[in-house]
C-alpha cells in the first residue's frame, strides 16, 4: 500500500475528504518523527510501540580486504507490534 492509498482509505473510513485525511496522516507521521528525535517511546494501544534504540560502536570487517573498520554508534527507530497485531 502506498501513502496515497493509505490516505484514500483513511478518507473513506473516516468519511472525510482526501485533503483532510492527508493532513491527518502527515500530522501522524510528523508526530512519530518528533517523538523519535526526542528519544521517547510512542505507544499506540492495540497497535504497537515505536522506540529509539542505540546501537553501540563496533568493529566490522571489510569483506573485500578483511581489514577492520569501525562502525560508529547510531540510533535506530524500532517498531514492536502489540500482541494483538502479532497474532495476525
- At 20-38, the pLDDT tens digits run 999 999 999 999 999 999 9
Q: Which fold has domain 47-88?
A: HU Protein; Chain A (4.10.520)
Residue 54 in grid coordinates: 542505540
Instruction: Convert the pLDDT of each residue in 38-47 to its tens digit.
Output: 999 999 999 9
User: Are 45 and 13 in contact, with CB atoms under 8 Å apart?
Assistant: no
Compute the half-sphere exposure of residue 88: CA atoms within 13 Å on the CB side of its CA: 7
For residues 46-68, average pLDDT: 95
For residues 36-64, average pLDDT: 94
The predicted model scores a pTM of 0.76
- Residue 21, judged by CB atoms within 10 A of its CB (0-12, 13-18, 19+), counts as buried
User: Are 10 and 1 in contact, with CB atoms under 8 Å apart?
Assistant: no
Average model confidence (pLDDT) across the chain:
95
What pLDDT is attached to residue 25? 97
Amino acid at each position: 500500500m502506498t501513502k496515497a492509498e493509505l490516505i484514500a482509505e483513511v478518507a473513506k473510513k473516516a468519511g472525510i475528504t482526501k485533503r483532510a485525511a492527508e493532513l491527518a496522516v502527515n500530522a501522524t507521521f510528523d508526530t512519530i518523527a518528533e517523538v523519535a528525535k526526542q528519544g521517547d517511546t510512542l505507544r499506540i494501544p492495540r497497535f504497537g510501540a515505536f522506540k529509539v534504540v542505540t546501537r553501540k560502536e563496533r568493529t566490522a570487517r571489510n569483506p573485500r580486504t578483511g581489514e577492520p573498520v569501525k562502525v560508529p554508534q547510531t540510533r535506530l527507530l524500532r517498531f514492536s507490534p502489540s500482541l494483538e497485531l502479532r497474532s495476525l
